[in-house]
Chain A
Amino acid sequence: MTAAIHTSVTPAAPGVVRSRSHLANVLHRLVRNPLAMVSAGIILLLILMAVFAPWIMPHDPFATSMLKRLKPIGTPGLPLGGDELGRDLLSRLILGARLSLFMGIAPVILAFILGGTLGIIAGYAGGWLNTVIMRCIDVLYAFPSVLLAIALSGALGAGITNALVSLTIVFVPQIARIAESVTTAVRRSDYVDAARASGASALLIVRKQVLGNVIGPIFVYATSLISVSMILASGLSFLGLGVKPPEPEWGLMLNTLRTAIYSQPWVAALPGLLIFITSVSFNMLADGLRSAMEVKQ
């Protein structure tokens, strides 16, 4: 029921000048960053490789052969050599991209959702709810990440799901902390006060006013965690706590090829090279994203 103090309600005037949104600005800047774009390209290639793996692989990644054990790079029929069971390394590397990338990205996505929600709730609500949530987070945060991942994986046992669970648990506190810190800062701003003054409920304010300002920094932080997650995930497989053989995964392959460093060192080192390249690319992209977002408007 509106009071009729002034009544003119005209439809929005056509031809309103519209400025580029913040997101568009960030992307605009990101695209002009050569390093970031190269990294994005590499990542895209790797993802495509993982998606289309069954069609790209030259040979069967699971076919073992006693004769082809530990063959060097360039052997006919084994473009990148043969692993310790005679399987084609190239095919295994290509198929291995699936699990390696998945284990790197999935925990971060899960942690982004879980940790982000927890942090935003804690940051907006404040008071005792904030204290309870953040103290629990602090206990998890008190462990060095590697140790926590290994402890959880060690307790739960090997396997992809278990590894996913432990890695997610490792990253939730980190993301939650950032989320809480950013949300608390936004909560204190005048425009949130103005929104409260217009009678909006907390949920509405978080959705419409807070989220847009908070998602950015949390997202940037999460992308910087992907490379860490990849290294940790493959590290878990390296220790035998993640992916189980005979599934191809770069970390697991490093483990099983370890004994080959004396006979075929370069074959043994290849999976790690891929992990390294992926990790560097994600880091560069994350850096580029951060720079693109940091420009003071």
Chain B
Amino acid sequence: MSLSPRPAPVDPRDLGGPAQPLLIVRDLKKHFPLKKTGFGLRRERLAVRAVDGVSFTLLKGETLGVVGESGCGKSTTARLLMQLTRQDSGELVFDGQTVGDVLPLREYRRQTQMVFQDSYASLNPRMTIEDSIAFGPAVHGVSRADALGRAHDLLARVGLEPGRFAGRYPHELSGGQRQRVNIARALALEPRLIILDESVSALDKSVEAQVLNLLADLKEALGLTYVFISHDLNVVRYVSDRVLVMYLGEVVEVGAAEALFERPLHPYTGALLRSMPSTDPLRRTEEAPLAGDPPNPIAPPSGCRFHTRCEHAQAVCAQRAPRFVEVEPGRSVACLRYEADSGYALPPTPSQETHHV
């Protein structure tokens, strides 16, 4: 059950209308240099290539799901989107304005917020709930009384009674309650974009459902746009309009949620989906669809990074890196099978075979 992208309620800060993407991400790269190995004159500068050229567009009012295995660069991408880490290269364009350039960072931060995974670590243990929520508005000049008032409003909105929770400390709340507080804190600055980095992963299933419903309600009421990062494919399918699949620091496939789940194009996406244990007793999962561990992000495989685990790999896959191409409207893949003139030998189609008869 996914919500189709609705046009956002008219936001005075909106610049380009519904047609303009809320966020354009262009070729983000972030490498983390390792400590120098060995001693002597020749020192190899190895780096973890966490995010290696990620590009995508985010439309207003949609929920973009981001999936991938651990180590694929999801969290680093989230931090880059929040500018908590600066990219080595690449740019972000928010509603037509380049972040850091035309759009000052401080302004960008008012419009983009994040809900972290660890609900406990993301709240200051020495600050009361209301103080934590009121911090953001206070930074931007809201008076303390107003900021606290807003904090109480938001607490009510996320389903926590202000009288009971505002004066408490994080350790006194349960995980689900803390995550609601985190959501309230993210909303305090009235953002347009919220990045949810594994925000429900640490919650019990029943609590998770409540929080997801809350997120859906808020999105509709406030006209928000979400980037929903998760490793839980079922949840992603449930909440997302479109889905983006990452592997080893790169985007491998993007498409509408239902279409991508029904008919995955990239071999990795297919393997990921097949690795979800089936709940149908008649269709049991017999074999692990993906073999081995993901390769080392320090020295990724040559050519297509997935070729070492791909069932369709051919020799050319080790030599040539695929480009990210739009295969159908709204569907893009980075795979040599879908790239014309890539050197990949496609199996002959039935129509071709009859020719030779």
Contact = CB atoms under 8 A, between A and B. Distances in A.
Report A-B touching, CB under 8 Å.
yes
Most chain-B CB neighbours within 10 Å: which of A21, A22, A191?
A191
Interface string A179-223: 000000000011101111111100010001100110000000000
For the residues of A in contact with B, the DSSP-based class is loop
B118 interface: yes
A199 B222 contact: no
A10 B153 contact: yes
B190 A3 contact: yes
A190 B149 CA distance: 25
A9 B113 CA distance: 21
Nearest to B157: A6
A4 interface: yes
B135 interface: yes
Contacts of A66: none
Interface in B196-237: 222-223
B128 A19 contact: yes
Contact of B116 (A2, A13, A194): A194
B162 interface: yes
A184 to B, nearest CB: 15
A120 to B, nearest CB: 15
B116 A190 contact: yes
Nearest to B222: A5
Which of the four size classes fits the interface of chain A? Answer: 35 or more
Contact of A190 (B113, B122, B223): B122
A152 B112 CA distance: 54
B152 interface: yes
B164 interface: yes
A15 interface: yes
Contact of A13 (B13, B121, B162, B190): B162
A4 B223 CA distance: 12
A196 B150 contact: no
A10 B152 CA distance: 8
Interface string B127-161: 11010100110011010011011101100000000
B134 to A, nearest CB: 10
Contacts of A204: 139
11 contacts: A5-B222, A10-B153, A13-B163, A22-B126, A191-B122, A191-B123, A191-B124, A194-B116, A196-B84, A199-B136, A297-B169
Please name the 10 residue pairs, one residue from A and one from B, whose CB atoms are nearest each other, closest first: A18-B167, A198-B136, A190-B122, A199-B109, A212-B126, A190-B121, A191-B124, A200-B139, A199-B106, A16-B167
Given A10-B153, A12-B152, A17-B167, 14 more contacts: A3-B12, A5-B223, A11-B145, A19-B172, A189-B122, A190-B121, A194-B114, A194-B122, A197-B82, A197-B109, A198-B136, A199-B105, A199-B106, A199-B110
